[in-house]
Amino acid sequence: MGTFSQQEIEQVFRLYWRTGAVGEDWDAWADLFTEDCVYIEHFYGTMRGRETVRAWIKPIMAKYGEIYTSYEWHVVDAERGRVVFYMQNRRDHPGGQGTIDFPGISILEYAGGGKWRSEEDFWSVTGREKAMRAYEEACRRCDPDHPRKRTRRDWGNGPEWTRGPRS
C-alpha cells in the first residue's frame, strides 16, 4: 500500500461518485477498479476481479433501476489510502410524498493510478426489507408503473458534485 495525497484520493473518489452514483455508467464505474480488485458485498458475496464486479453490477442496477444514491458524507484517510462514505439507497415515493430510503456505508481502498483495489459495502438488511415493502405497497396504491420511470427527484443536500439532475 502506497502513500497517496489527500487531494489525489479525494479527486478519484469524486470521479467514482459522479460516474456510478450520479451518472449510473456502470461500465465506466467498473473500469475505476483494478483488474484484480476484491469487492465484498455482505448480501451478495465476495467478488474477485473487475470483470466479475462488472458482470454483477450491471444486471443488479438494471433490476433495481428505481433506486439511486443520496450522498450523506465521506472521509478520506490518505495514510491508509481509504475512503469511507455513508449514503441513502433511495427510491422516490410513487405518490410524490418524499422518499423511501435505507442506509449504507462503504469502504474503498485506493491502489493508485486512479483505480480502487477494493470496496466493502454494508447496508441495513432490515432497513432494505422495510423500504422494499413500503415501496411495493406505495406502488400498488399510487402508481404500479413507477419502478420503470426511474425518477430521481431528491439527491439530498450533499455538495453539488454528489447530485444529478431531477427527473
- 100: part of which helix (H) or strand (E)? strand 99-112
CA angle, 48 then 54 then 58, to 5°: 140
73: helix, strand or coil = strand
* 151 pLDDT above the threshold of 60: yes
* 2 pLDDT above the threshold of 90: no
- Whose cell is 410524490? That residue is 96
- Whose cell is 464486479? That residue is 53
8 Å CB contact between 74 and 83: yes
- Domains located in the chain, CATH noted: 6-158 (3.10.450.50)
Residue 1 has a pLDDT of 53
Q: Give 5-20 pLDDT, tens digit per residue.
A: 999 999 999 999 999 9
Phi, psi of 33 (to 5 degrees): -105, 155
Whole-model pTM: value is 0.95
